[in-house]
Amino acid sequence: MFTRLGVPRIRRAGFTLIELLVVITVISLLVGILLPSLAHARRSARSTKCLSQVRTLQIAHVLYMDANKESFIDVGLGHGGPGDLSRSWITTLQTYYDSPIVVRSPGDLSPLWSVDQGGQGQLIGGQPRRTSYGINNWLSRTFNPGLHPREPFDRLSKVPSPHATVQFLLMTEEGPFAVSDHVHAEGWDPGTPGAAPGIASGEMKIHAWGGRAKSWEAVSNYGYLDGHAQTLPFSAVFSSNEKNQFDPTVAK
């Protein structure tokens, strides 16, 4: 088709309304498919970074033991009350790092962190949150449960299976234990079937990296005395007082 001056008329290409709706629908479907995958990828990356941090803490602890006749680090931050930061492993383990010790998990959104650390500055018992990670109190000289007639498990030579004994774990992000640096694993099995995951969740974040909260399949990161770290369901590290990876007398 030509204009009056004999110049060809240019047809303007464009979408019809139906074509536009089809394109929008396809894009919406793609976004719906990709977003969960991207969210899963981000979560997986954070979990891996957290696991790496736990492993680094364990390696630093191996160096600590080498320099201190196999003695373990100890705890100093109480749950829901005042504590002694100078005695806590957060302070004593710093010597074995070339840079400031990393004690915050990439997935930790607790409001108990100070404002300058991205939290809301909330306090429990006058204390802020100082660490995402805590240690198994069975390996503490200060808060060893003392359920067995022997000295505390405070050095490597006293632990039968270091490769199967949990030391580092992720602390809960709310409640009294959120400002502590250790858990009390001896109280997780009251003899009531299925109660352990719920009780443990009040002290540590057993579902930090997957699974349902307060359930046996809840997934978190754990560090072991021999220096390695693993991402495991709660059922793999604790079943009962007679079968778990916290009490050195039964861990295997």
Whether residue 34 is contained in a domain is answered as: no
Structural domain including 138 reads 48-244
pLDDT at residue number 11: 56
pLDDT at residue number 107: 92
**Consecutive 10-residue averages of pLDDT for the chain (252 residues):** 53 68 80 70 90 96 95 93 89 88 95 90 93 96 70 91 98 96 95 95 97 97 97 98 96 94
Hey, what are 19's tokens?
A: 């074509």
Neighbours of 250 (CB within 10 A): 17
| Ramachandran bin of 145, using left for φ above 0, alpha for ψ from -120 to 50, beta for the remaining angles | alpha
- Which DSSP category does 156 fall into? G
Q: Where are the alpha helices (DSSP H) in the chain?
A: 17-67, 89-92, 196-201, 234-237
Whether residue 188 is contained in a domain is answered as: yes
pLDDT at residue number 242: 95
pTM confidence score = 0.84
Whether residue 160 is contained in a domain is answered as: yes
pLDDT at residue number 2: 46
Whether residue 24 is contained in a domain is answered as: no
Q: Are 75 and 89 in contact (CB under 8 A)?
A: yes
pLDDT at residue number 50: 98
d(CA 103, CA 89): 11
d(CA 156, CA 71): 7
Whether residue 53 is contained in a domain is answered as: yes
Whether residue 14 is contained in a domain is answered as: no
pLDDT at residue number 7: 53
Helix, strand, coil percent values for the chain (each to nearest 5): 35, 15, 50
pLDDT at residue number 14: 63
Number of domains in the chain: 1
pLDDT at residue number 145: 78
pLDDT at residue number 44: 86
Whether residue 1 is contained in a domain is answered as: no
d(CA 75, CA 175): 18
Q: Are 82 and 181 in contact (CB under 8 A)?
A: no
Whether residue 5 is contained in a domain is answered as: no
